[in-house]
């Protein structure tokens, strides 16, 4: 191939890929939004990426008993692993703070994001989106953050105001 044709080829590649450098390997496969959707499970505080579906505390209680209670105790009391309720007032006390969804977590969207990707520990990603909404609703209702009859969905979950929402500051170096 002549240098002239190489240069033309490089120029065409540049224009076709919106400014990608021709000297970069460019071996990535362009992926469609449909392909990405299944993988894109992260939920920011604005809730923009929340899936369809919904759940209530009552529905969530059944899910919780079957999938969560073994590790997190009855009604989120904890043991053997992290408690999900209580701990109010412990962030400034003498002992180690008890950090629960109620006392510490700043965003309800984090609860959905985490449960859907990682819980239950022995069978992660086994809950349906409806079940995740429901179990989030149950945990939030246990803490009195939402009412016993409230429904959690893509609109209501991001609107939940968490008690410790203003409890975080950005780190800056002290010296």
Partner 1 sequence: MHSKIRRTAQDRLQPVAGNGLLDRRALFRAGAAVAAGAGFAGSSNAAGPLEVEPWMREVGAPFAPYGQPSHFENKVVRTIGTLPGTTGTGSSRTPLHALEGTITPNGLHFERSHDGIPDIDPDKHQLLIHGLVHRPLSFSLEALARYPTVSRMAFIECGGNGGALYQKTPVQLGAQGLHGLVSCAEWTGVPLAVLLEEAGVDPQARWILAEGADAASMSRSVPLAKAMDDAIVALYQNGERIRPDNGYPMRLLLPGFEGNANVKWLRRIKLTDGPIMTKDETSKYTISLPNGKAQQFVFPIEAKSLITRPSPGLRLDGAGIYEISGLAWSGYGRIAKVEVSADGGKSWAEAVLQQPALPMALTRFRMPWRWNGGPAVLQSRAVDESGYVQPSREQLVAERGNNTIYHYNGITSWGVSESGELTHVYA
In this complex, which beta carbon is closest to partner 1, that of residue 9 or of residue 124?
124
**Residue in 19, 34, 52, 161 binding partner 1, rule: CB under 8 A:** 19
Q: How far apart are CA 92 and CA 107, in angstroms?
A: 20
Q: How far apart are CA 85 and CA 140, in angstroms?
A: 9
Question: Quick check: 169 binds partner 1 (CB under 8 A)?
Answer: yes
3 state SS of 1: coil
Both tokens assigned to 133:
């909404």
How many residues appear in the chain? 175
Give the count of residues interacting with partner 1 (CB under 8 A): 55
Q: How far apart are CA 110 and CA 36, in angstroms?
A: 21
- For partner 1, the binding residues in 34-73 under the rule CB under 8 A are 36, 39-45, 70-71
- The residues of the shown chain that bind partner 1, judged by CB under 8 A, are 17-21, 24-33, 36, 39-45, 70-71, 80-81, 91-93, 95-97, 99, 104-107, 109-110, 113-114, 117-118, 121, 124-125, 167-171, 173-175
């Amino acid at each position: 191939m002549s240098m002239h044709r190489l240069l033309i080829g490089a120029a065409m590649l540049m224009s076709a890929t919106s400014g990608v450098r021709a000297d970069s390997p460019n071996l990535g496969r362009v992926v469609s939004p449909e392909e990405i959707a299944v993988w894109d499970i992260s939920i920011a505080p604005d809730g923009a990426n929340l899936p369809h579906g919904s759940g209530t505390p009552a529905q969530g209680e059944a899910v919780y008993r079957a999938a969560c209670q073994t590790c997190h105790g009855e009604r989120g009391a904890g043991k053997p692993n992290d408690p999900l309720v209580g701990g109010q007032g412990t962030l400034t006390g003498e002992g180690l703070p008890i950090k629960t969804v109620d006392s510490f977590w700043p965003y309800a969207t984090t609860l959905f994001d985490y449960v859907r990707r990682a819980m239950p520990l022995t069978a992660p990603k086994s809950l349906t989106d409806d079940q995740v909404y429901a179990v989030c609703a149950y945990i939030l209702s246990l803490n009195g953050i939402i009412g016993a009859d409230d429904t959690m969905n893509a609109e209501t979950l991001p609107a939940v105001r968490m008690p410790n929402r203003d409890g975080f500051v950005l780190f800056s170096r002290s010296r």
